[in-house]
Structure 1
Amino acid sequence: MPKSDPTGLHRVLDAETVLPQAAQRLDTRRELWPDEVRIRVERLNLDAASFRQLEGEHGDGGAVRAAVLAIVAERGKMQNPVTGSGGMLIGTVEEVGPESPLGLDVGQRVATLVSLTLTPLVIEDGLAQWDGTSEQVPCDGYAVLFGRSIAAVLPDDLPRALSLAVMDVCGAPALTARVVRQYGERGIAPRVAVIGGGGKSGSLALAAARAAGADHLIGVVLTEREAASLTGAGLADSVVITDARDPIGLRDAVASAGGPADVTVVCVDVPGCEGGAVLATAEGGTVIFFSMATSFSAAALGAEGVAADVTMLIGNGYVPGHAAFALDLLRANEGVRRLFTERVQ
């Protein structure tokens, strides 16, 4: 039995030395290394890009369920082979290794704040309670956390499904707030555009930008229904409807609403939005990409091709204190809570 590594390297079954996220297959044995924690899984939350791809390819809910089961059985983790993304989970701490640094206790209900793409996972109920038509997946099985994993104890004042939905995207509002505050430190109250402002990460990013001192908030959505919902939530000063995959349409829509933006946050779960996000951003501005559908090459080469002087950030999903920050936004902002409640019903 190899010595454990806090990154989970000892669970990688590939011949090459790669980290768990890049691995083709993980060791899912139940027995723990000294610094690990085992979770009895209650619910998975598939990330939006992954679920959209699975739904588009397989259509029928039963086929989607079968595809998820096949991926987990083959890889020992939930990592969509097309999008490369996974999601996260909630469950109850089942066993804690004697050297675990995570500070968790047996019996605590927690949300993992690391991706399912690097989390050893075993599904034991065949997903019998899931119809394959939603991102949230009731599940009985177990998962393993490493020494450098992250987990948060679930709050008692919020429904479990709501907490899971918030924690799945909690990196977006925290980084958005950090960037907006950095502008404030230079005496600038930035204009912020959130592409996909009616979604989970987008609505939280808008609320975070407002709390951090943004001057003007622009929410970009795809449909009239999303626009009505976002307008009713009161999270944006302007709401515009456009397809973010149309770069000129996106640029012009943001401009018509008070742009270009000093900070553009991309929260949509479809590819092809990189160029429009760059064009919608002012010279010297910042683009934050939170979508797992983002292409690094398309963003970098696209910005170069239009001579855009913008800073581009890839949200990695982790900022210290991000879970508590996102949950506090949900508690304090009725509009955010309404949008999330609509999504998880």
Structure 2
Amino acid sequence: MAAPQPSGMAGIGLNRVLEPIGSLPQSALRLDAESPPAADEVAIAVERLNLDAASFRQISEFCDGDPDRIRAHVLEIITSRGKMHNPVTGSGGMLIGTVEYAGPQSPLGLGAGQRVATLVSLTLTPLQVTDGLTRWDGLSEQVPCSGRAILFARSIAARLPDDLPAEQALAVFDVCGAPALTRRVVQDYQQRGGPTVVAVIGAAGKSGSLALASAADLGATTIGVVYDADELQALERAGLADRVVSCDARDPVALLSAVTAAGGPAQVTVVCVDVAGCEGGAVLSTAQGGTVIFFSMATQFAAAALGAEGLACDITMIIGNGYLPGHSDLALDLYRRTAGVRQLFARRLGH
């Protein structure tokens, strides 16, 4: 994986910001996706986008599940903003493609012809789509398309593995921050010498299943929380969690009761759902002195912080940063050697 560069203003994409001038690419309203790549940039011929779960759910619900409206809505966002940055959820996703140009001053170590996954959000990636998304059925988070994307000097990218289909690799890379941060936090608790119970909310999804596998790999006691009976059966078949419970995580009392009955409260709670409203239950389900990791981009962070304060909960809350050193390698390793993770990914990808 190409590593991010040292701190500083160079190579962070300010040259691509159209509005408002001076903002960073992620927070910008519009980016320049049309100018030729600069000497420290890399141009990617796009093959497939992966919309993040929260964004795809919001767009699908807004468009009443109509594939034509969904396609048109996503295309309008990309065209008007020069990037895939959902204005409602504030999230985007990531992509895979082939390097068509690597500037002589680019530090990413990429070369023309390499197939790569961009491990940075589409909310800060200059993006053009040239085929009108005509190959996308509008019913999946994965969007086959043609176009061009730009990586800055301080971007992150990984070469696609040879042993996995691109669709699977993209799905793994999309959530590779979740198992890495879960691993770091669980290891920190284990170094203190106490028992570690890890509850994963949204455990049958992509990030949830990898977070569970990461915690189980370290010997933690795991509780998988899912929404309905169908997901409960799928997670039980996958065998990733010591205990599996089903409830609506937006109901804080129901979530607290379910986690407690399964052996909680948890020292570490990982929130991987793609809907808002789970903040209070996650806080209540976490032991005093514990940690909640919010990997969902649907999280209402003010509600989480103020809710914990109002409940006098002495917990640490972490925003799930999608980058940690070695995160893509860890996620691929867990995916390759954990049959239950592959089962749940196949279910999510429609295989």
- TM-score, structure 1 as length reference: 0.98
Preserved contact between residue 11 and residue 20 of structure 1 (Cα < 8 Å): yes
Q: Distance between the aligned counterparts of 1:69 and 1:162, measured in 2?
A: 24
What secondary structure does 1:20 align onto? Answer: coil
Does structure 1 residue 89 correspond to structure 2 residue 89? Answer: no
Amino acid at match of 1:300: A
334-343 vs 154-163, which moves further = 334-343
Preserved contact between residue 189 and residue 213 of structure 1 (Cα < 8 Å): no
Preserved contact between residue 180 and residue 213 of structure 1 (Cα < 8 Å): no
Aligned partner (choices 257, 264, 273) of residue 259 of structure 1: 264
Preserved contact between residue 50 and residue 86 of structure 1 (Cα < 8 Å): yes
Deviation at 1:30, TM superposition (A): 4.3
Deviation at 1:176, TM superposition (A): 0.1
Preserved contact between residue 181 and residue 213 of structure 1 (Cα < 8 Å): no
Q: Distance between the aligned counterparts of 1:15 and 1:148, measured in 2?
A: 21
Q: Distance between the aligned counterparts of 1:15 and 1:84, measured in 2?
A: 16
Question: In the TM superposition, what whole-angstrom CA distance separates every residue of 1:294-318 from its partner, at most 9, and x where no partner exists?
Answer: 1111010000011001111111111
The residue correspondences of 1:298-313 to structure 2 (distance < 5 A) are: 298-313=303-318
Residue 231 of structure 1 corresponds to 236
What secondary structure does 2:330 align onto? Answer: helix
Amino acid at match of 1:329: L
Preserved contact between residue 20 and residue 28 of structure 2 (Cα < 8 Å): no
Amino acid at match of 2:43: R
The residue correspondences of 1:102-181 to structure 2 (distance < 5 A) are: 102-181=108-187
Amino acid at match of 1:43: R
Aligned residues: 341
- TM-score, structure 2 as length reference: 0.96
Deviation at 1:219, TM superposition (A): 0.3
Does structure 1 residue 68 correspond to structure 2 residue 71? Answer: no
Question: In the TM superposition, what whole-angstrom CA distance separates every residue of 1:315-337 from its partner, at most 9, and x where no partner exists?
Answer: 11111110010000000101001
Residue 249 of structure 1 corresponds to 254
Residue 335 of structure 1 corresponds to 340
Q: Distance between the aligned counterparts of 1:213 and 1:10, measured in 2?
A: 47
Aligned partner (choices 175, 188, 198) of residue 204 of structure 2: 198
Does structure 1 residue 221 correspond to structure 2 residue 226? Answer: yes
Residue 40 of structure 1 corresponds to 45
Identity, % of aligned positions:
66
Q: Distance between the aligned counterparts of 1:93 and 1:185, measured in 2?
A: 42
Amino acid at match of 2:331: A
Deviation at 1:212, TM superposition (A): 2.2
Deviation at 1:188, TM superposition (A): 2.2
Residue 285 of structure 1 corresponds to 290
Does structure 1 residue 22 correspond to structure 2 residue 27? Answer: yes
What secondary structure does 2:30 align onto? Answer: coil
Deviation at 1:15, TM superposition (A): 3.5
Preserved contact between residue 218 and residue 236 of structure 1 (Cα < 8 Å): yes
Amino acid at match of 1:70: E
Deviation at 1:61, TM superposition (A): 0.6
Q: Distance between the aligned counterparts of 2:79 and 2:195, measured in 1?
A: 49
Residue 4 of structure 2 corresponds to none
Deviation at 1:185, TM superposition (A): 1.1
Aligned partner (choices 186, 189, 201) of residue 192 of structure 2: 186
Deviation at 1:343, TM superposition (A): 1.4
Question: In the TM superposition, what whole-angstrom CA distance separates every residue of 1:29-82 from its partner, at most 9, and x where no partner exists?
Answer: 241111100000000000000000000000201100000110011000001111
Preserved contact between residue 50 and residue 170 of structure 2 (Cα < 8 Å): yes
Preserved contact between residue 96 and residue 104 of structure 1 (Cα < 8 Å): yes
Question: In the TM superposition, what whole-angstrom CA distance separates every residue of 1:264-310 from its partner, at most 9, and x where no partner exists?
Answer: 00000100110000000011111000000111110100000110011
Q: Distance between the aligned counterparts of 2:216 and 2:153, measured in 1?
A: 35
Aligned partner (choices 274, 280, 291) of residue 279 of structure 2: 274
Q: Distance between the aligned counterparts of 2:248 and 2:106, measured in 1?
A: 46
Residue 5 of structure 2 corresponds to none
Q: Distance between the aligned counterparts of 1:333 and 1:249, measured in 2?
A: 30
RMSD (Å), alpha carbons: 0.9
Query: Where does structure 1 lack aligned partners over 5 or more consecutive residues?
Result: none
